[in-house]
């Protein structure tokens, strides 16, 4: 089984990238090839990429492309360089510290579900924004937004795989290297879709009738941050309100283009609306109790 890893980065993130690459180097099942895909300039800040230090070039193969497609660029290197339909592609983010068993745990899940796209974080998007449901396999602040659980059978179907904690695909799920634009990367012309790479990948897979699942056997992802790090302004999720509204617009744009016609089921208790209703009722109860005590 050939297994490759693939990711992208930004000119302002080289320190984080090196720390992430180091965790991927220490995997108990190393990938056979690790691709780092970068455009000539970033679309977000129009910055050119400085020369990569030896710590980076020693650990991965640089794949240069002309145009920046946004965060989905992370998978392009593998799609350009790999042609065997059975090759396993695992996507990573450059601002995450991974457990040394993330690759092996994803491969174990692949052995159980060989024809499915697999992650450990995901979303359910049936209905409008208030009914969004999420499960985030992480130790950062997004962990508190988890609203659905994985059942005892160890997996759950989702509409969207969130790739930051690691996501596994097969090369055959995607177009060949000469047909990546039409029907797939072309939708990054919309800025909201461009900023939601996991949503675009999952939308494409849904249209190809590829089942997406999240599993409970993958170790938690950790935010790649130390006390010296400062916000660079490149983090798409740094402002959660902006992030969520951009996500909503991206979902609607993809639906307009015929994606996400079918959705996985979830109950009301697993939705954002239920969590908001619970907190409103709890707050009203506290206010009522305080008023009674003050009488």
Q: Model-level pTM?
A: 0.90
Distance CA 137, CA 202 (A): 18
Helix count (H) and strand count (E) of the chain? 8, 13
Say if residue 188 is in the same domain as residue 282: no
Give the residue-averaged pLDDT of 79-108. 97
Which residues does 34 contact at the CB level (< 8 Å), separation at least 6?
Answer: 4, 5, 6, 7, 21, 24, 59, 60, 61
Token couple for 285: 């109860």
Say if residue 117 is in the same domain as residue 180: yes
Give the residue-averaged pLDDT of 241-252. 87
Say if residue 194 is in the same domain as residue 283: no
Distance CA 192, CA 247 (A): 7
Say if residue 286 is in the same domain as residue 189: no
Our count of domains for the chain comes to 2
Q: Is the pLDDT of residue 291 over 80?
A: yes
Find where tokens 């497609």 sit: 69
pLDDT, averaged across the chain: 89
Which residues does 70 contact at the CB level (< 8 Å), separation at least 6?
Answer: 43, 44, 188, 194, 195, 197
Say if residue 275 is in the same domain as residue 208: no
Distance CA 253, CA 243 (A): 15
């Amino acid at each position: 089984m050939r297994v490759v890893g693939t990711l992208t980065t930004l000119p302002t993130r080289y320190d984080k990238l090196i720390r992430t690459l180091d965790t991927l180097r220490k995997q108990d099942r190393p990938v056979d090839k690790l691709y780092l895909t970068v455009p000539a300039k970033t679309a977000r800040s129009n910055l050119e990429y400085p020369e990569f230090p030896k710590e980076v070039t020693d650990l991965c193969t640089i794949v240069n492309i002309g145009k920046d497609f946004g965060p989905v660029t992370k998978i392009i290197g593998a799609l350009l360089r790999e042609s065997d339909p059975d090759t396993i592609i695992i996507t990573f983010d450059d601002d995450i510290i991974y457990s040394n068993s993330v690759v092996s745990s994803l491969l174990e899940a692949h052995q159980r579900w060989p024809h499915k796209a697999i992650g450990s974080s995901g979303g359910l998007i049936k209905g409008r924004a208030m009914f969004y449901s999420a499960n985030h396999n992480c130790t950062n602040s997004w962990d508190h937004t988890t609203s659905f659980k994985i059942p005892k059978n160890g997996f759950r179907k989702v509409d969207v795989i969130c790739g930051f904690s690691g996501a596994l695909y097969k090369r055959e799920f995607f177009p060949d290297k000469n047909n990546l634009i039409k029907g797939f990367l072309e939708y990054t012309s919309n800025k909201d879709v461009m900023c939601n790479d996991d949503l675009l990948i999952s939308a494409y897979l849904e249209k190809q009738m590829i089942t997406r699942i999240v599993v409970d056997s993958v170790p938690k992802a950790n935010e790649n941050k130390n006390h010296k790090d400062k916000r660079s302004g490149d983090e798409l999720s740094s402002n959660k309100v902006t992030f969520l509204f951009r996500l909503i617009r991206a979902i609607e744009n993809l639906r307009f283009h015929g994606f996400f016609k079918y959705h996985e089921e979830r109950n009301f208790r697993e939705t954002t609306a239920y969590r908001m209703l619970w907190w409103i009722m709890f707050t009203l109860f506290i206010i009522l109790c305080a008023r009674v005590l003050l009488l």
